Amino acid sequence: MKAWHKEVIRVHYKDTDQMGVVHHGNYVNLFEIGRTEWMRHAGIPYSKMEDMGLLLPVMDLNINYQKSARYDDLLVIYTKVSNFSKVRLQFDYEARLIPNNDSQGEIADTPTGELLAQGSTVHMWVTRDWKPARIDRFAPEVYALFQEA
């Protein structure tokens, strides 16, 4: 799982503070956008997963801030799965500043742009009644997609 999914996002005014800087808490939202788009691109949109009776709550979140993003900056959120098992899943993220003319391809071998923040989330597969679910047994087709990704 070396390839990164690439999602380009423009910073909106609503996401900044009075100084025009992206509020640190908004990086959690950016990472969530990256994760949901990674899953959509892999063929497992959250809506399909939830229709199957699966949930993927966050168990751990880690963010390391390097530099601030500002209003109207063009960012790219790189997302990849760095570790997965039959019950857990870890995503890694990088938020980077890019020029306005950067290409918007969906996959990249190496992140480009100026690093703003990097982080990770750990998730656990659970059923709608919040019981752990072994993905290989509960949804083998989803497990196969992660093995291929």
Residues designated as active site: 17
d(CA 52, CA 140): 12
Contact status, residue 2 vs residue 46, Cβ threshold 8 Å: no
- HSE-up of 122 (CA within 13 Å, CB side)? 7
Helix (H, G, I), strand (E, B) or coil at 61: strand
Residue in the block written with tokens 């982080």: 119
Question: CB count, 10 Å around CB of 32?
Answer: 17
Beta 107-108 vs 58-65: how paired, if at all?
A: unpaired
